[in-house]
Structure 1
């Protein structure tokens, strides 16, 4: 999958409230569906595997994947959900939402199946997952539903951006969850990153991080590289240089003043760090990005 070319097309986005008599017979869909079980309980059968869904669970159905849904108990079900293509295609507006098994589809309908591009290990999204913090995902999901219903000016752009936020959130959490085997590592990693972000205005040493977060330097480097493919100090240097780029391009501060605000001991130390990360000197970057 060429992730930089993703441009999602939202086919349906709705907040469904269902009574206990509702069922979804086995079907296959042409696109992707993200379903959030906000209230109630479901039995979801996916390719003959039965999953017991409870409030807070998300389900992700892929193109061509057989699935059926049945309500458990007598409580109402609330399941906001979205049908979408990963990338808008010439026939995206023609294709609807399937409620048929494969055997009942005609030749044209069988040609509507999208390729499942989320089988790669890096981008894989499981059929059922439960986020550690569902609120950001829930917020983006309801943004899509509101935009789809109201269709204000330029809603298509908001739909695409919100869908990209949803996909990034799910993929990142699944990647971190797979990489962090021991309990508490993801939380610790998030705390370290937040600390580095909050201290972009000064230098931070590995000893300081190890003492603050009660972990050995070796383990901290190992953990951080799993999550971000770089060491904590490399990450910190990167965000400091990104902040410097913004200041160089969008303020009239001198290079010396920028170096001082970012906590570099000398302008020469700042220039060396900037060139190592950006490939040019701070003054060269200002010349290249000005007017």
Structure 2
């Protein structure tokens, strides 16, 4: 008898999409939820615990919480977080819309049965997702989250389908990056930490000039070894990766802010607005202004 894998039936129900700044010294838990959560820390540092596993929160950290799994997190003293939060059922169920909050109040009955849970890397070492996901393409993740946030709460068919589509893209991104990480662990895991340092360096300095020498120094690798390892894991050279992340960051700014195009060019590390226009046109196929107008007009049409 053939069994259908639950992941082939995925049709996410998004319960919460939340972009918010916390108060100073924020602390959550220990607690449990009745759905899945993705906690992305855009800014801030602190400590996160899933079960008995203690992890460090840094800008760009992403944590996946499963139903009924105990977790907690806290900001470092005197600091706060800027978070992107998603709560969702992986497969929409009969009770999905009737669960008002993922946090059951004391004395309330637990959701039963709990929804299908994403496999973790302990259950499925070759195919599961870890609780702390090594997010590399932070700009791409942020763009997908903001696409979901923009449509969250809309009940028209187009918006619902686009939200589900963006959520599926986001999950596919997490699986792809986890598989790449697993491949590097099994083949040449010795350079994993060095590459993580290189990527962290890139993302923290997208607004500055970045050279191959700079990235190699941050990774403590020779340029030739860095190129080989980087291409093996990310299928791009470090400099092309920098360009991709700058363009993705610029697309977010064009879509979700009213900043002047010159300001966006400066903040994403382009030497001049002319360089920005040329690179954007080459990578996206249209100018920054045309991209902003096209996306905004599409969003307006969806609302109408």
Match among 33, 54, 68 for residue 29 of structure 1: 33
In the TM superposition, residue 27 of structure 1 has moved relative to its aligned partner by 1.1
RMSD in angstroms over aligned alpha carbons?
2.4
Paired position in structure 2 for 1:79: 83
> Quick one: distance in 1 between partners of 2:81 and 2:153?
20
1:117 match? 118
**Is contact 1:27–1:98 with CA below 8 Å preserved after alignment?**
no
Matched pairs, number: 190
Q: Relative to structure 1, is the Cα distance of residues 100 and 68 closer, same or farther in structure 2, using a 3 angstrom cutoff?
A: farther
Quote the residue 2:67 is aligned against.
63
Which residue of structure 1 aligns with residue 180 of structure 2?
176
1:19 CA drift (Å):
1.3
User: 2 CA distance for matches of 1:34 and 1:187?
Assistant: 28
Higher Rg of the two aligned structures? 1
Please show how residues 199-210 of structure 1 align to structure 2 within 5 Å. Answer: none
Matches within 5 A, 1:208-287: none
- d(CA) in 1 for partners of 2:93, 2:126: 24
SS in 1 for 2:67: coil
- TM-score, normalised on structure 2? 0.57
In the alignment, is the contact (CA less than 8 A) between 1:29 and 1:113 conserved in 2? no
Cα shift at 1:185: 4.2
Displacement, 1:151? Answer: 5.5
The separation in 1 between residues aligned to 2:58 and 2:156, in whole angstroms, is 34
The alignment's TM-score, normalised by the length of structure 1, stands at: 0.59
Contact 2:41 / 2:62 at 8 angstroms: preserved in 1? yes
More displaced, 142-151 or 5-14? 142-151
1:122–1:147: structure 2 CA closer, same or farther, 3 Å change rule? farther
Change (3 A) 1:143 1:64: same
Moved over 6 A (4+): none
**Helix, strand or coil: the match of 1:44?**
strand
Q: 8 Å contact 2:46–2:73 — kept in the other structure?
A: yes
CA distance in 1, matches of 2:36, 2:89: 6
Q: Distance in 2 between matches of 1:136 and 1:30?
A: 27
Are 2:232 and 1:188 aligned?
yes
Q: Distance in 2 between matches of 1:86 and 1:130?
A: 21
Partner of 2:8: 4
Q: Which runs of 5+ in 2 are unaligned?
A: 192-227, 237-304
Q: Which residue of 1 aligns with 2:147?
A: 143
